[in-house]
């Protein structure tokens, strides 16, 4: 593998890799040291630390996108520079990736969401070279929150300002949450307490389905929740903070 070649892998090769890791459930061996990235507007750059758990060298490519999980580095077009964009990692070694904001205009009254992508390509074994083994590319993807400097209150206050209400859907009753804050709120678990019973909603597979954006709404289905509209309902939920720690909260639900 040559880490000094082009900063982008060929488009056809990238497409083949995405097809592979889209069809096969695998686990990457290059570990990102955090579950999310926060980029304060005033910082010149932020760093992401990686560690290789592999027993052989791997080629790693990193880039950012604005929400399209099928993005490739040459098509992402977002206002950050990633350094280095492609590199070789030796077994057991660490690597620092630097992210620098390029200064384009982004909303100043709320966070902007981007995604950090890491593509890991293992080195070819002798069996793979002889066609006896399938080599897979591994992709990891975590959120990056670009945070303006002049937001009116701290991010820790956001979960307590959410507004919840019950709504009827074709599948039954659901909860709708409105986020009036300038922050993204990510949920780890949502429980509904009504008529002495607890109804649990586990996290969805998609990261976007577990989050409500600034000024946005999201809906969570509870098909087994059958209570009259005048029945008091309390919601208990866990929201993830900037470090990925689960913080418990509770709220009353409007009819």
Residues 242 and 159 in one domain: yes
- What is the per-residue pLDDT for 136? 72
Residues 75 and 137 in one domain: yes
Q: To the nearest whole number, what is the mean pLDDT of the chain?
A: 84
Last residue in a domain, options 123, 147, 171: 147
* Count helices and strands in the chain by DSSP H and E runs: 2, 17
* Model pTM score: 0.82
Residue 213 has pLDDT above 50, yes or no: yes
Q: What is the CATH number of the domain that holds 188?
A: 2.60.40.10
Contact (Cβ atoms closer than 8 angstroms) between residue 150 and residue 202: no
Contact (Cβ atoms closer than 8 angstroms) between residue 141 and residue 119: no
| 162 in a structural domain | yes
Cis peptide before 84 (omega within 30 of 0): yes
| 180 in a structural domain | yes
Residues 128 and 174 in one domain: no
Q: Give 102-117 pLDDT, tens digit per residue.
A: 999 999 999 999 999 9
Q: Give 117-146 pLDDT, tens digit per residue.
A: 999 998 765 554 455 555 678 889 999 999
Residues 224 and 142 in one domain: no
Which range of residues forms the domain containing residue 212? 155-253
Residue 32 has pLDDT above 60, yes or no: yes
- What is the per-residue pLDDT for 42? 95
Q: Give 164-188 pLDDT, tens digit per residue.
A: 998 887 777 788 999 999 999 999 9
| Token pair in block for residue 212 | 């409500």
Last residue in a domain, options 124, 147, 170: 147
Last residue in a domain, options 147, 172, 187: 147
CA distance 244 to 38: 11
| 9 in a structural domain | no
Higher per-residue pLDDT: 99 or 193:
99
| 188 in a structural domain | yes
Number of domains in the chain: 2
The string of DSSP letters for 69-125 reads TT--TTT---SEEEESSEEEE-TT-EEEEEEEE------SSS-EEEEEEEEEEEPPP
Residues 50 and 120 in one domain: yes
| 204 in a structural domain | yes
């Amino acid at each position: 593998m040559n880490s000094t070649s082009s900063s982008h892998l060929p488009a056809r090769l990238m497409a083949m890799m995405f097809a592979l890791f889209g069809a096969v459930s695998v686990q990457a061996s290059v570990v990102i040291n955090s579950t999310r990235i926060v980029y304060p507007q005033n910082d010149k750059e932020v760093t992401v630390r990686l560690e290789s758990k592999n027993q052989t060298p791997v080629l790693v490519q990193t880039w950012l996108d604005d929400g399209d999980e099928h993005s490739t580095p040459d098509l992402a077009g977002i206002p950050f520079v990633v350094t280095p964009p492609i590199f070789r990692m030796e077994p057991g070694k660490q690597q620092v990736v630097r992210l620098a904001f390029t200064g384009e205009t982004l909303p100043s009254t709320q966070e902007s969401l981007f995604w950090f992508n890491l593509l890991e390509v293992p080195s070819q074994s002798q069996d793979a070279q002889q066609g006896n083994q399938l080599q897979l590319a591994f992709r990891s993807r975590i959120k990056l929150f670009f945070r303006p400097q002049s937001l009116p209150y701290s991010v820790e206050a956001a979960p307590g300002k959410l507004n919840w209400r019950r709504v009827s859907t074709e599948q039954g009753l659901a909860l709708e949450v409105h986020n009036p804050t300038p922050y993204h709120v990510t949920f780890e678990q949502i429980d509904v307490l009504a008529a002495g019973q607890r109804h649990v909603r586990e996290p969805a597979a998609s990261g976007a389905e577990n989050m409500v954006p600034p000024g946005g709404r999201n809906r969570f289905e509870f098909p087994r929740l059958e209570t009259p509209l005048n029945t008091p309902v309390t919601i208990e939920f866990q929201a993830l903070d900037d470090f990925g720690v689960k913080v418990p909260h509770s709220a009353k639900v409007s009819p």
